[in-house]
Amino acid sequence: MELTTVTQQVVSNHEVESSSISNNNKFIEANTQQVTLSHLRQDCTIPIFAKDNESTIPHFEFIGAVREIAQELFPERTVMMANIRTSHIIKGRIPSAIGKPAKELLEHEKTIYYERMAFMVEIPHIHTYINNQKLNLTVGGVRSYSEQNLFSKKSIEKFKIFIGFKNMVCCNLCIATDGLKDDLRVSSVEELKSKTRELFLTYNQENQLETMQELQEYTINQEQFAHLIGKMKLYHHLDKQQKQQLFELKTTDSQINTIVKNYIDDPHFSADNDGYITLWNLYNLFTESSKSNYIDNFLCRNCNTYEFVNHLGAAIKNKKDNYFLQDHDIVQ
């Protein structure tokens, strides 16, 4: 599949953040707030490993490393500034403010850092269209200090990085299995760059786009959608042995409820007037629902939705029995 190029002003290495972040940027919603890279660098303290006082890799260095590799691998392309969202703020105070009531603290006496951080960086020159919806190539990552034992000595640090596409009509991220490193462990920024470069180079964007295009070819009706939702809800109550025989589904009950609601009234991906919905639209209902997850698990659940909807598509294509699908009247 050929990727097209559009004309757009190239962003320099200077951090002109306000003009170089996409306005269409709410790629995750649950319990998060948007912050700037300069805020992370200038206003936030850096967590340390308590037993030896060694520094962790701060959020802003993580973001800079991933964006630097994107610029290196796409030198002729626009690499936008990172869109950053944070949660679980950790508050503190400087030593001179010990004993002072919290309401009387001055701004310079307060310290903060964010336990969890997610970011994405668009490369809009590399894009394609599916169902007349523009998809931009996007890279990014997640860091959660909750996965790190900060009360020990300095150890290997954990990160998540991804490369995939962002649907520009809704900010939904489309992440395939080979575009996600969900348990990256490194000990330095240089090692982080090396592992990021490796992921970006091995990612097969043409294969993902062809697979997503194919989802438009298959449609289910309202009865089949209702059967699917019922089986998804039932799945979580099966015993361990029963689940081992089925596709591993990570979609939660609250996400399933969101999918049902959006099946009716989503402005871009709802079913038609007769209740029919393509697997491409269904996939976007799933990725929309995954935006309600917390920062530290939304990437793996987003990727799981990609695998799951393609699992359904393969069953329809090959006319195979599937726990989640009815066995009759599948529309192709």
Percent of the chain with pLDDT over 70: 91
> Is residue 1 pLDDT above 60, yes or no?
no
Nearest CA-CA partner of 316 in 215, 176, 207: 215
Distance of alpha carbon 290 from alpha carbon 159, whole angstroms = 19
**Span 85-100, pLDDT tens digits:** 999 999 988 888 888 8
Cα 314–chain centre separation = 24
Question: Could you tell me if 296 and 34 are in contact, meaning their C-beta atoms sit under 8 angstroms apart?
Answer: no
**pLDDT (0 to 100) of residue 17:** 44
What backbone torsions phi and psi does residue 315 show, to the nearest 5 degrees? -65, -40
**Span 234-245, pLDDT tens digits:** 999 999 999 999
Q: Which residues pair with 142 in a beta bridge?
A: 118, 160
Q: What pLDDT band is residue 21 in, cutting at 50, 70 and 90?
A: low
Nearest CA-CA partner of 186 in 66, 38, 45: 66
Q: What pLDDT band is residue 109 in, cutting at 50, 70 and 90?
A: confident
**pLDDT (0 to 100) of residue 9:** 31
- Token pair listed for 207: 């294969």
Distance of alpha carbon 279 from alpha carbon 314, whole angstroms = 11
- Within 8 A by CB and 6+ apart from 38, the residues are 15, 17
Q: With H, G, I as helix, E, B as strand and everything else as coil, classify residue 178.
A: helix
- Within 8 A by CB and 6+ apart from 127, the residues are 3, 4, 6, 134, 135, 136, 137
Domain locations along the chain: 17-210, 218-318
**pLDDT (0 to 100) of residue 8:** 33
